[in-house]
Amino acid sequence: MIGGNYEKQKYVIASGDGRIRPRARLIRTIGAELISSEIVAVLELVRNSYDADARKIEIRFDNPQRPEEATLTIRDDGHGMTREVFLGPWLEPATDHKSSGGEGLFSGERSPRGRRRLGSKGVGRFATQRLGEHLLVSSKSKASNGVFEANFDWNILDNSDSYLDELIIPWREIQAEKSRWHGTDLHISKLRDNWAEERFERLRLALSRLLGPGLGDAFRIDLVVNGIKEEIKPFIDSLPAMYSIDGSVLNDGTCAINYRDITGKIEHWQRSVLWPMAEACGPFKFRISSWDLDREALEYFFGRTNIELGLRDFRRTIRDHSGISLYRDGFRILPYGEPDNDWLRLDRRRVNNPTLRLSNNQILGWVQLTADENPLLQDQTNREGLVANRAYSHLQQAILELISYLEGRRFTSRRSFGLANRNNDAPQQPIRAQVDEHLEELIVKLAQKSNGSGEILPELREAIRRSSAANLGAVQRYLQLAGAGSCLPLIVSELQYPLKQAHAETSFLLLEVASGELPSEAENDLLTSLEKLERSLNELQERVESLERMATTQTILWTQMRLSDCIEKIGGLFTNEFVRAEIEFDVVIETDPAIVAISSIVEQVSTLLFENAVFWLRQTKMPRRLTVRIKSHAFTVENNGTPIPRELEEKVFEASFTTREGASGLGLALARDLLKAVGGTIQSLRRSKGAAFEVTLPNHT
Average pLDDT (388-404) is 91
Q: Which of 232-236, 277-281, 309-313, 366-370 has the lowest mean pLDDT?
A: 232-236
pLDDT digits 0-9 by tens, 542-596: 655 555 555 544 445 778 888 988 888 888 878 878 888 889 999 999 988 888 8
DSSP state of 137: E
Residue 603 in contact with residue 550, Cβ under 8 Å?
yes
Q: At 667, phi and psi to the nearest 5?
A: -60, -55
Read off the pLDDT band of 6 (50, 70, 90).
very low
**How confident is the model at residue 412, as a pLDDT?**
81
Read off the pLDDT band of 56 (50, 70, 90).
very high
Find the DSSP H helices in 589-665.
599-618
**How confident is the model at residue 32, as a pLDDT?**
60
Read off the pLDDT band of 425 (50, 70, 90).
very low
What angle separates helix 456-486 from helix 667-676, to the nearest 10 degrees?
A: 150
**How confident is the model at residue 553, as a pLDDT?**
45
Q: Is pLDDT larger for residue 448 or for residue 305? A: 305
Residue 399 in contact with residue 344, Cβ under 8 Å?
yes
- String of b and e for 24-62 (b: at least 16 CB within 10 Å)? bbebbebbeebbeebbbbbbbbbbbbbbbbbeebbbbbe
* Of 561, 571, 699, residue with least CA distance to 634: 699
As a whole number of angstroms, the distance between CA 118 and CA 327 comes to 11
Average pLDDT (37-56) is 87
The Cβ of residue 63 has, within 10 Å, a number of other Cβ atoms equal to 13
**How confident is the model at residue 288, as a pLDDT?**
94
DSSP 383-398: SSSB--SHHHHHHHHH
As a whole number of angstroms, the distance between CA 501 and CA 578 comes to 20
Q: How remote is the C-alpha of 604 from its chain's centroid?
A: 32
Q: What is the pTM of this model?
A: 0.56
Average pLDDT (227-236) is 84
Query: For the chain, how long is the longest CA-to-CA vector?
Result: 127
The Cβ of residue 368 has, within 10 Å, a number of other Cβ atoms equal to 21
**How confident is the model at residue 620, as a pLDDT?**
80
**Beta partners for residue 60, in sequence order:** 73, 224
Residue 171 in contact with residue 148, Cβ under 8 Å?
yes
Average pLDDT (397-405) is 91
Say how many residues make up the chain: 701
Residue 341 in contact with residue 295, Cβ under 8 Å?
no
* Of 351, 362, 368, residue with least CA distance to 323: 362
Q: Is pLDDT larger for residue 440 or for residue 433? A: 440
Read off the pLDDT band of 422 (50, 70, 90).
very low
Q: End-to-end CA distance of the chain, in Å?
A: 91
**Beta partners for residue 636, in sequence order:** 629, 694
Please write down the HEC assignment for all residues of 211-272. ECCCHHHCCEEEEEECCEEEEECCCCCCCCCCEEEEEEECCCCEEEEEEEECCCCEEEEEEE
As a whole number of angstroms, the distance between CA 568 and CA 587 comes to 8
As a whole number of angstroms, the distance between CA 493 and CA 614 comes to 14
Residue 223 in contact with residue 43, Cβ under 8 Å?
no
Read off the pLDDT band of 1 (50, 70, 90).
very low
Read off the pLDDT band of 429 (50, 70, 90).
very low
**How confident is the model at residue 114, as a pLDDT?**
63
The CATH number, out of the four listed (3.30.230, 3.30.450, 3.30.1380, 3.40.50), of the domain defined by the range 243-416 = 3.30.230
Radius of gyration of the chain (CA): 35
Residue 460 in contact with residue 443, Cβ under 8 Å?
yes
Q: At 327, phi and psi to the nearest 5?
A: -125, 135
Task: Give the chain's mean pLDDT.
Answer: 77
Residue 460 in contact with residue 440, Cβ under 8 Å?
no
DSSP state of 116: B
* Of 43, 188, 69, residue with least CA distance to 124: 43
**How confident is the model at residue 102, as a pLDDT?**
46
Average pLDDT (289-311) is 86
Q: Is pLDDT larger for residue 48 or for residue 487? A: 48
As a whole number of angstroms, the distance between CA 510 and CA 645 comes to 56
pLDDT digits 0-9 by tens, 150-183: 888 887 766 667 777 777 788 888 887 766 678 9
The CATH number, out of the four listed (3.30.565.10, 3.30.365.10, 3.40.30.10, 3.40.1010.10), of the domain defined by the range 553-701 = 3.30.565.10
CATH superfamily assigned to domain 26-230: Histidine kinase-like ATPase, C-terminal domain (3.30.565.10)
Q: Which of 24-38, 71-85, 309-323, 433-447 has the lowest mean pLDDT?
A: 433-447
Categorise residue 178: left if φ over 0, alpha if ψ from -120 to 50, beta otherwise: beta
As a whole number of angstroms, the distance between CA 378 and CA 387 comes to 6
Read off the pLDDT band of 72 (50, 70, 90).
very high
As a whole number of angstroms, the distance between CA 311 and CA 300 comes to 11
**How confident is the model at residue 281, as a pLDDT?**
94
Cis, peptide link before residue 430, omega less than 30° from 0: no
The Cβ of residue 526 has, within 10 Å, a number of other Cβ atoms equal to 14
> In this model, does residue 26 exceed pLDDT 90?
no
State what percent of residues in the chain have pLDDT above 70.
68
Residue 600 in contact with residue 666, Cβ under 8 Å?
no
Sign of CA dihedral 661, 663, 664, 666: negative
Categorise residue 114: left if φ over 0, alpha if ψ from -120 to 50, beta otherwise: left
As a whole number of angstroms, the distance between CA 285 and CA 289 comes to 14
Residue 633 in contact with residue 698, Cβ under 8 Å?
yes
**How confident is the model at residue 20, as a pLDDT?**
75
Helices (H) and strands (E) in the chain, counts: 17, 22
pLDDT digits 0-9 by tens, 236-270: 667 789 999 999 999 988 999 999 998 888 999 88
Amino acid residing at 413: S
| DSSP E strand boundaries for 318-388 | 323-328, 331-333, 363-369
Please write down the HEC assignment for all residues of 255-302. EEEEEEECCCCEEEEEEECCCCCCCCCCCEEEEEEECCCCHHHHHHHH
Please write down the HEC assignment for all residues of 144-184. CCEEEEEEEEHHHHHCCCCEHHHCCCCEEEEECCCCCCCEE
As a whole number of angstroms, the distance between CA 286 and CA 659 comes to 19
Average pLDDT (203-227) is 81
DSSP state of 358: P
Amino acid residing at 76: D
pLDDT digits 0-9 by tens, 643-658: 887 777 777 887 666 6
As a whole number of angstroms, the distance between CA 693 and CA 306 comes to 45
Q: Is pLDDT larger for residue 547 or for residue 373? A: 373
As a whole number of angstroms, the distance between CA 164 and CA 166 comes to 5
**How confident is the model at residue 588, as a pLDDT?**
92
As a whole number of angstroms, the distance between CA 642 and CA 405 comes to 12
Across 142-146, 245-249, 260-264, 435-439, which has the greatest mean pLDDT?
A: 245-249
* Of 283, 251, 274, 282, residue with least CA distance to 391: 282
Average pLDDT (275-285) is 89
